[in-house]
């Protein structure tokens, strides 16, 4: 799964990485947690890419208020699940990030957080799906989820799932509204090769979502 991540790239770096027309004003985020608003990249009807905030934890549009938001969706089955099928077909997004955290179980009580990043240090994109605000829920906000896939060799010793990190060459295809069928997109939803990534254990400071500073990136 993917339950925490960071996005510390500047607005200029994000604008360049995702071909945005405008340079956004961004605050570094070191410990992004579910339910928080997060900037994601959407494709407007005219084909322009924009950065817009969505709450992390997808709530289906027909939700009545009791449902919890889905922070992750399995890439292998999302297109067939009622909660995600419509979003998979027509509301795909890019979720900018510079790293994500996973926890390795040490024993029955202890878990060690690890930080995974690109070896280049560059920002990247998770494959995401988004939903408009559920009309039956007063004050609801638009939401999103991150797709996950099988782990690569680097993440497997820590967790049995990893977020789908898209190759930049696949960004346009993932956002393309003309592509609606799962078979047209399946090739994009593979584990990123381990050789392009790096990882190290970090302090358990990241366990507390109240901590959102550079200390979350410090090696344990």
Q: What gap in Å lies between CA 51 and CA 26, rounded to an integer?
A: 10
Q: Give the active site residue among 13, 76, 102, 181.
A: 102
Please confirm, yes or no, whether 16 is among the known catalytic residues. no
Q: Give the active site residue among 2, 93, 131, 216.
A: 2
| Side-chain half-sphere CA neighbours of 127 within 13 A | 34
Helix/strand/coil percentages in the chain, nearest 5:
20, 35, 45
Q: What gap in Å lies between CA 114 and CA 203, rounded to an integer?
A: 8
Q: In the numeric block, which tokens belong to residue 57? A: 């934890």
Whose tokens are 């770096």? That residue is 13
Please confirm, yes or no, whether 2 is among the known catalytic residues. yes
Q: In the numeric block, which tokens belong to residue 14? A: 């994000």
3-state secondary structure labels for all residues of 127-177? EEEEECCCCCCCCCCCEEEEEEECCCCCCCCCCCCEECEECHHHHHHHHCC
Nearest to 4, CA basis, from 208, 219, 189: 208
- Residues known to be catalytic: 2, 102
């Amino acid at each position: 799964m993917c339950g925490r991540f960071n996005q510390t790239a500047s607005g200029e770096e994000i604008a360049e990485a995702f071909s945005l027309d405008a340079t956004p004003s961004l605050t570094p985020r070191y410990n992004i947690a579910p339910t928080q608003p997060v900037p994601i990249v959407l494709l407007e009807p005219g084909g322009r890419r924009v950065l817009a905030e969505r709450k992390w934890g997808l709530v289906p549009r027909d939700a009545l208020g009791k449902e919890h938001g889905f922070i992750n969706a399995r890439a292998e089955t999302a297109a067939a699940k009622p909660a995600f099928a419509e979003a998979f077909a027509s509301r795909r997004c890019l979720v900018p990030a510079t790293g994500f955290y996973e926890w390795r179980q040490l024993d029955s009580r202890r878990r060690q957080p690890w930080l995974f990043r690109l070896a280049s240090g560059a920002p990247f994109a998770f494959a995401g799906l988004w939903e408009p605000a559920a009309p039956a829920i007063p004050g609801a906000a638009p939401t999103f989820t991150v797709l996950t896939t099988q782990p690569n060799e680097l993440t497997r010793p820590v967790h049995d799932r990893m977020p789908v990190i898209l190759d930049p060459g696949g960004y346009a295809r993932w956002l393309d509204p003309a592509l609606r069928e799962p078979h047209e997109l399946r090739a994009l939803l593979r584990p990123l090769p381990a050789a392009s990534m790096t990882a190290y254990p970090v302090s358990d400071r990241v366990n507390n979502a109240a901590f959102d500073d550079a200390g979350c990136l410090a090696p344990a």
